[in-house]
């Protein structure tokens, strides 16, 4: 299994009042949707090419230039159904509001919203049910993320070894890195030399020791597919606090241009176990107010998140079990870049809801009752 921090982004400008508003927003924005009609072909990544050969080229480093969270289309325009463009059919089913072969929605959830897939069985409850909540907190969340990328604050780097000119390849070993603090606006033309986050290296002094690797990735008609599924930690910064989206059973794909200088239609798809997600959100809530580390307000927030669950943690469905995970699909576009020097290690981040030894408080500087309620 592959697990590593994946990307640092910013969703700044949230307020305590807006965070509390998540309770009333819940999943209601999707309850009146008309179910998406079934289509005969399932939405899945392309299969490994039967006639592919092993890599025979110099390779390339791709850098994420834009990241799409599900609230906008790829042009950046807000669109309520944009989530249907990001993700894959993770559970092998094309579910509708009346499906009975899926997990049980959480009590209080709207089955119509939870069960209904996107076209071709596309699973993306994060974009469908949670992004409207995030949008109510910060209407320009996606804009802020992409402004940070363009400014050179961070990017995701994919180093594909031995990529050549052919449209079909097997065995293209790929390593993922996070680039940080470029020092100026990014060009994405191959001249940027991104400093690499050392936390993603097994040996912080050796750039060749990336923790996150896809040894079985391949190219099918110029679509790169990560191959065997793994676990990714998509790490965002919300109002100065780290929020980790622990994506399991993850698959990453992108369409690489024939000249190997860009990639389009990128997809990051997988499953978010609900309880770890709630634990992460508690840190963000506690950052606004230590009172939100415990109590009825945060429990209402947590229950809203649980009600968005549409799948099981292993990516499967079972009608005898309650849904305990949220499917996710994100989009991206990429240019090219170089791996630069190894950057400085990030400083430790305080958990405002952690209870310091012997204090009963909610964390340094809060002076609150966090752990004591």
39-80 pLDDT per residue, tens = 445 688 999 999 889 999 999 999 999 999 998 999 988 888
Q: Is 75 among the domain residues?
A: yes
What pLDDT was estimated at residue 228?
Answer: 77
Range with the poorest average pLDDT among 103-117, 176-190, 240-254, 284-298 = 284-298
Q: Is 361 among the domain residues?
A: no
- Give the model confidence (pLDDT) of 315-361 as tens digits: 999 999 999 999 999 999 999 999 999 998 765 566 777 765 334 33
Which residues, other chains included, contact 274 with Cβ-Cβ below 8 Å and sequence gap of 6+? Answer: 305, 306, 309, 324, 325, 326
DSSP state of 76: S
Q: Is 239 among the domain residues?
A: yes
Within 10 angstroms of residue 31's Cβ, the number of other Cβ atoms is: 12
Q: Which pLDDT band, with edges at 50, 70 and 90, does 292 fall under? A: confident
Asked whether residue 88 carries a pLDDT value surpassing 50, the answer given is yes
Q: Which pLDDT band, with edges at 50, 70 and 90, does 98 fall under? A: very high
Q: Is 78 among the domain residues?
A: yes
- Per the structure, the count of domains in the chain is 1
Q: Is 33 among the domain residues?
A: no
Q: Is 204 among the domain residues?
A: yes
Q: Residue 60 is part of which domain span?
A: 9-13+54-101+115-297+326-343
How many CA atoms are closer than 13 Å to the CA of 68, on its beta-carbon side?
30
* DSSP per-residue letters across 132-167: HHHHHH-TTHHHHHHHHHHHTSEEEEEEETT--S-S
Q: Is 88 among the domain residues?
A: yes
Asked whether residue 104 carries a pLDDT value surpassing 50, the answer given is yes
> Taking phi first (over 0 means left), then psi (-120 to 50 degrees means alpha), and beta for anything else, what does residue 50 get?
alpha
Q: Is 39 among the domain residues?
A: no
Within 10 angstroms of residue 335's Cβ, the number of other Cβ atoms is: 20
Which residues, other chains included, contact 200 with Cβ-Cβ below 8 Å and sequence gap of 6+? Answer: 4, 5, 176, 177, 178, 210, 211, 212
- Give the model confidence (pLDDT) of 165-178 as tens digits: 999 999 999 999 98
């Amino acid at each position: 299994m592959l697990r590593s921090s994946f990307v640092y982004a910013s969703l700044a400008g949230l307020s305590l009042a807006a965070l509390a508003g998540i309770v009333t927003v819940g999943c209601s924005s999707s309850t009146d949707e008309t179910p998406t009609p079934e289509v005969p072909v399932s939405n899945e990544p392309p299969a490994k090419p039967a006639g592919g050969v092993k890599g025979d080229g110099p390779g390339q480093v791709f850098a994420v230039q834009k990241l799409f969270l599900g609230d906008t289309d790829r042009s950046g325009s807000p669109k309520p159904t944009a989530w249907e463009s990001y993700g894959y059919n993770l559970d092998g089913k094309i579910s509708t509001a009346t499906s009975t072969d899926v997990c049980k929605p959480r009590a209080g959830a709207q089955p119509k919203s939870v069960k209904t897939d996107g076209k071709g069985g596309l699973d993306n409850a994060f974009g469908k049910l949670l992004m409207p909540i995030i949008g109510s907190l910060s209407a320009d969340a996606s804009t802020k993320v992409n402004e940070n990328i363009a400014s050179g604050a961070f990017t995701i780097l994919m180093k594909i070894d031995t990529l050549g000119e052919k449209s079909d390849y097997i065995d293209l070993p790929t390593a993922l890195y996070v680039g940080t603090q470029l020092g100026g606006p990014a060009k994405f033309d191959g001249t940027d030399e991104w400093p690499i986050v050392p936390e993603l290296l097994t040996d912080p002094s050796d750039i060749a020791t990336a923790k996150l690797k896809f040894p079985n990735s391949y190219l099918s008609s110029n679509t790169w597919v990560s191959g065997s599924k793994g676990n990714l930690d998509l790490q965002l910064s919300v109002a100065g606090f780290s929020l980790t989206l622990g994506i399991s059973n993850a698959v990453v794909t992108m369409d690489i241009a024939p000249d190997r200088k860009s990639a389009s239609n990128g997809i990051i798809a997988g499953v978010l176990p609900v309880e770890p997600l709630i634990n992460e959100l508690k840190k963000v809530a506690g950052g606004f107010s230590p009172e939100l580390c415990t109590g009825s307000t945060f429990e209402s927030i947590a229950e809203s998140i649980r009600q968005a669950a549409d799948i099981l943690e292993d990516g499967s469905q079972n009608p005898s079990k309650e849904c305990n995970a949220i499917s996710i699909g994100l989009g991206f576009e990429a240019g090219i870049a170089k791996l630069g020097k190894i950057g400085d290690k990030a400083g430790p981040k305080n958990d405002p809801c952690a209870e310091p030894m012997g204090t009963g408080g909610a964390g340094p500087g809060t002076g609150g009752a966090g752990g004591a309620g």
